[in-house]
């Protein structure tokens, strides 16, 4: 049972389940859904305390929390977290920015579509984490490797959702905007951008998930800092509590980024709520 | 009435002229040389079977089709109302009406246009919150707020239920009397054409195959014998057998 928890944590951190924007809000369901995770943690704690689980294999949640508190107080956690966040942020910015640009070019221009889309479609077939050996040859094992991995992971979801978001815009709305005297730039601003925005949000959410996953893998290659390094180092000294703590941090990062994005989405896409009400 | 007679005596300068308009999609020629004039303030109904090219012609006149040949000129401003409302779902009603507007007092103009279609209180609504008839009225307001000299209407009430359609026809008649815009009303409904238009055209075989003045005065009912005669003629021309 506790094995499930361990396997679940990095999975969550890496790939937040794509939640449909139209999910129903159920006031009572929220508490009911909290019951089984709480129970699971309680069972884990009890198993660890009673000695069923040896602390080298899996320490109690309370022990992991205590370790987390210790590392947070002496600043270790903050340092490594900041380095991980910087890598994720830079990679997202580079990969996401490039994806947005190329996705827009391919989505808006026929020539762009013909030139850009085929190579991207081909590259999509490569599992980007499998590129690690090649990337090491190209950019070495330093910081660029981690950032390149994140950028690669973030690129594809944003590219494809930008492309699809633009392509799915109702041509008739663009036409109506033209009859209202909107020029090319005004049409991009008032029709194309808001029309593609829901897809862009979806792409960003998937990209952030891919970014965390890339980071998990990237930070295990010769890192000197970062949450991944913290975990690899702890493994060498058999500090299982720190390893589990790393997983928890990864999971929390995934959860928090997903939450922040969902709030931003709800604020920006208010018009969709009206759409659902009708 | 007085302006009407004056207009009949000295025809108003045209607000639209189209000459030899042609359009083909691949091997099929849809428009094979359409000539069309619309005088200022004149309402012209364009009838024709399904697929006869009515929407194609209207899109060309609205400047939305770059592949058509021939010459079309709109003297003044034109605005379009489509069969579907085509409101931007991510803009509130007032912002949809204001789309592309510039100049002084945009908010005031939007206010007045929405009041004229009876939706002054729905400014902040999202399009998805409106009924079909309301959304179409917003689309009419969006056209009206531009103070067009020519209104291009492509089966604007075709998707509405019969009762709403009657109300919208009344609304259009009232707005036209107040603002005096000219209009090209594409419709497949002969009664609608006779209720609203000064002239009816039939598009067939890619050309204007029939032109029929509708001298029915401002208050029209389908019970009028003259109305019945015109209807039979148009239905005949459209190939619908009448008893
Ligand atoms: N974009 C297009 N591509 C190919 N054929 C088209 C296109 N638009 C219209 N057509 C064809 O042109 C003909 C006239 O269409 P349309 O103008 O919409 O007819 P109407 O509005 O009178 O019902 C139809 O046969 C239709 O299939
Ligand atoms: Mg049509």
Helix count (H) and strand count (E) of chain B?
8, 9
CATH class of this structure's domain B13-77+148-243: alpha beta
CA of A199 to the centre of ligand 1 (A): 31
Q: Which long-range contacts (CB under 8 A, 24 or more apart) does A18-26 make?
A: A18/A202, A18/A205, A18/A206, A19/A258, A19/A262, A21/A198, A21/A201, A21/A265, A21/A269, A21/A272, A22/A276
CA of B51 to the centre of ligand 1 (A): 6
Q: Give pLDDT, residue A4.
A: 34
Give chain B positions within 8 Å (CB) of A177: 88, 99-100
Quote helix, strand, coil % in chain A, to nearest 5: 80, 0, 20
- Tell me if A190 and B89 make a contact (CB, 8 A cut-off): no
| Chain segment B20-56, per-residue pLDDT in tens | 999 999 999 999 999 999 999 999 999 999 999 999 9
Give chain A positions within 8 Å (CB) of B63: 178-179
| CA–CA dist B39, B148 (Å, integer) | 14
Q: Which domain holds residue A134?
A: 61-268
Q: Give pLDDT, residue A183.
A: 95
The answer on pLDDT for A169 being more than 70 is yes
Token pair belonging to B123: 């400014």
Q: Give pLDDT, residue A7.
A: 35
- Residues A103 and A162 sit within 8 Å (Cβ to Cβ): yes
- Residues A191 and B88 sit within 8 Å (Cβ to Cβ): yes
CA-based nearest residue in chain B for residue A278: B129
The two beta strands, B182-186 and B150-154, are parallel
Pick from B79, B84, B126: CB nearest A179? B79
From the list B20, B16, B29, B23, the residue with the least C-alpha distance to B68 is: B23
In chain B, domain spans:
13-77+148-243, 88-147
- Residues A253 and A168 sit within 8 Å (Cβ to Cβ): no
Nearest CA owner, ligand 1 atom 10: B25
Give chain A positions within 8 Å (CB) of B82: 172, 176
Q: DSSP secondary-structure letter at A128?
A: G
Ligand 1 atom nearest B50 alpha carbon: 23
Q: By percentage, how much of chain A surpasses pLDDT 90?
A: 74
Ligand 1 atom nearest B58 alpha carbon: 17
Q: Give pLDDT, residue B4.
A: 45
Ligand 1 atom nearest B57 alpha carbon: 17
Return the ∠ at Cα B80 (arms to B46 and B73), rounded to 5°: 75
Q: How would residue A23 be classed by pLDDT, with cut points 50, 70 and 90?
A: low
The verdict on residue A5 lying in a domain is no
Pick from A172, A197, A277: CB nearest B84? A172
Token pair belonging to B200: 């009816």
The answer on pLDDT for A271 being more than 90 is no
Token pair belonging to A175: 């036409």
Q: What are phi and psi of B3, to 5 degrees?
A: -65, -35
The set of residues, in sequence order, having a beta carbon less than 8 Å from that of A271 and lying 6+ positions away, is: B89, B90, B91, B92, B126, B128
Token pair belonging to B146: 């531009």
Give chain A positions within 8 Å (CB) of B59: 175
Q: What does pTM read for this prediction?
A: 0.83
The set of residues, in sequence order, having a beta carbon less than 8 Å from that of B29 and lying 6+ positions away, is: B22, B23, B206
Number of C-beta neighbours around residue B89 at 10 A: 16
The minimum CA-CA distance between A72 and chain B, rounded to whole Å, is 44
The answer on pLDDT for A275 being more than 80 is no
Which strands make up the sheet holding B14-25, listed edge to edge? Answer: B28-39, B14-25, B69-74
CB within 5 A of ion ligand 2: which residues?
B 55
The minimum CA-CA distance between A190 and chain B, rounded to whole Å, is 9
Chain B, 65 to 104: residues with Cβ < 8 Å from chain A are: 78-80, 82, 84, 86-92, 99-100
| CA–CA dist A211, A205 (Å, integer) | 10
Q: How would residue A272 be classed by pLDDT, with cut points 50, 70 and 90?
A: confident
From the list B179, B173, B212, B174, the residue with the least C-alpha distance to B196 is: B173
Q: How would residue A19 be classed by pLDDT, with cut points 50, 70 and 90?
A: very low
Helix or strand run (H / E) with residue B81: strand B78-81
| Chain segment A95-137, per-residue pLDDT in tens | 999 999 999 999 999 999 999 999 999 998 989 899 999 999 9
A274 touching chain B per CB within 8 A: yes
Q: Give pLDDT, residue A274.
A: 52
Ligand 1 atom nearest B155 alpha carbon: 21
Give chain B positions within 8 Å (CB) of A180: 99-100, 142, 146
| ipTM tops the 0.95 cut | no
Taking CB atoms and a 6 Å cutoff, what residues make up the pocket around ligand 1?
B 25, 30, 48, 50-56
- Tell me if B90 and A173 make a contact (CB, 8 A cut-off): no
Say how many domains are in chain A.
1
Token pair belonging to A126: 């490569």
The set of residues, in sequence order, having a beta carbon less than 8 Å from that of A83 and lying 6+ positions away, is: A225, A226
Average pLDDT over residues A192-198: 96
The verdict on residue A26 lying in a domain is no
Q: Give pLDDT, residue B67.
A: 94
| Cβ–Cβ pairs < 8 A, chains A and B | 61
- Residues A63 and A48 sit within 8 Å (Cβ to Cβ): yes
Chain B, 155 to 214: residues with Cβ < 8 Å from chain A are: none
The verdict on residue A48 lying in a domain is no
Q: DSSP secondary-structure letter at B94?
A: H
Q: Give pLDDT, residue A32.
A: 86
Q: Give pLDDT, residue A24.
A: 59
| Chain segment A42-55, per-residue pLDDT in tens | 999 999 999 898 88
Token pair belonging to A144: 């660029």
CATH code, A164: 1.10.3720.10
pLDDT by residue, tens only, chain B of 243 residues: 444 444 455 667 899 999 999 999 999 999 999 999 999 999 999 999 999 999 999 999 999 999 999 999 999 999 999 999 999 999 999 999 999 999 899 999 999 999 999 999 999 999 999 999 999 999 999 999 999 999 999 999 988 899 999 999 999 999 999 999 999 999 989 999 999 999 999 999 999 999 999 998 888 888 889 999 999 999 998 888 766
Token pair belonging to B20: 């030899």
The answer on pLDDT for A8 being more than 70 is no
- Residues B66 and B219 sit within 8 Å (Cβ to Cβ): no
Closest-lying ligand to the alpha carbon of B158?
2
Average pLDDT value over all residues in chain A: 88
């Amino acid at each position: 049972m506790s094995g499930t928890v361990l396997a679940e944590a990095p999975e969550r951190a890496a790939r937040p389940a794509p939640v449909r924007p139209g999910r129903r809000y159920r006031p009572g369901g929220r508490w009911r859904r909290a019951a089984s995770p709480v129970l699971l943690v309680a069972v884990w704690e009890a198993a660890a305390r009673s000695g069923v689980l040896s602390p080298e294999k899996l320490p109690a949640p309370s022990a992991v929390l205590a370790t987390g508190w210790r590392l947070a107080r002496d600043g270790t956690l903050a340092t490594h977290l900041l380095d991980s966040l910087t890598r994720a942020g830079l990679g997202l910015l580079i990969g996401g920015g490039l994806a947005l640009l190329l996705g827009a070019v391919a989505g808006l221009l026929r020539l762009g579509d013909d030139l850009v889309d085929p190579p991207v479609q081909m590259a999509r077939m490569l599992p980007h984490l499998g590129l690690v050996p090649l990337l090491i040859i190209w950019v070495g094992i330093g910081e660029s490797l981690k950032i390149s991995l994140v950028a690669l992971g973030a690129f594809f979801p944003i590219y494809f959702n930008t492309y699809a978001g633009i392509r799915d815009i109702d041509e008739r709305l663009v036409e109506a905007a033209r009859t209202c005297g909107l020029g090319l730039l005004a049409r991009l601003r008032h029709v194309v951008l808001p029309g593609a925005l829901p897809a862009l949000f979806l792409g960003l959410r998937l990209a952030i998930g891919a970014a965390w996953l890339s980071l998990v893998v990237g930070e295990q290659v010769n890192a000197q800092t970062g949450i991944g390094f913290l975990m690899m180092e702890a493994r060498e000294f058999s500090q299982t509590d720190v390893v589990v703590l790393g997983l928890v941090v990864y999971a929390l990062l995934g959860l928090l980024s997903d939450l922040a994005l969902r709030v931003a989405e709800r604020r920006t896409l208010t018009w969709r709520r009206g759409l659902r009400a009708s | 009435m007085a302006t009407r007679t004056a207009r009949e005596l000295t025809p108003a300068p045209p607000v639209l002229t189209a000459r030899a308009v042609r359009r083909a999609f691949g091997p099929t020629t849809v428009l094979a040389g359409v000539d069309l004039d619309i005088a200022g303030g004149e309402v012209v109904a364009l009838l024709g079977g399904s697929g006869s090219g009515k929407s194609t012609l209207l899109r060309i006149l609205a400047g939305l089709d770059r592949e058509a040949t021939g010459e079309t000129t709109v003297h003044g401003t034109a605005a379009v109302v489509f069969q579907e409302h085509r409101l931007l779902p991510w803009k509130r009603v007032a912002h949809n009406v204001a789309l592309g507007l510039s100049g002084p007092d945009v908010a005031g103009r939007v206010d007045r246009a929405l009041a004229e279609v009876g939706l002054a209180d729905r400014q902040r609504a999202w399009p998805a919150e409106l009924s079909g008839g309301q959304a179409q009225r917003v689309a009419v307001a969006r056209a009206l707020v531009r103070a067009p000299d020519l209104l291009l209407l492509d089966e604007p009430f075709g998707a509405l239920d019969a009762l709403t359609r009657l109300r919208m026809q009344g609304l259009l008649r009232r707005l036209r009397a107040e603002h005096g815009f000219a209009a090209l009303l594409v419709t497949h409904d002969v009664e609608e054409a006779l209720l609203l238009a000064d002239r009816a055209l039939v598009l067939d075989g890619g050309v204007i195959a029939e032109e029929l003045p509708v001298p029915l005065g401002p208050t029209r009912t389908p019970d009028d014998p003259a109305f019945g005669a015109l209807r039979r003629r148009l239905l005949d021309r459209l190939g619908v057998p009448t008893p």
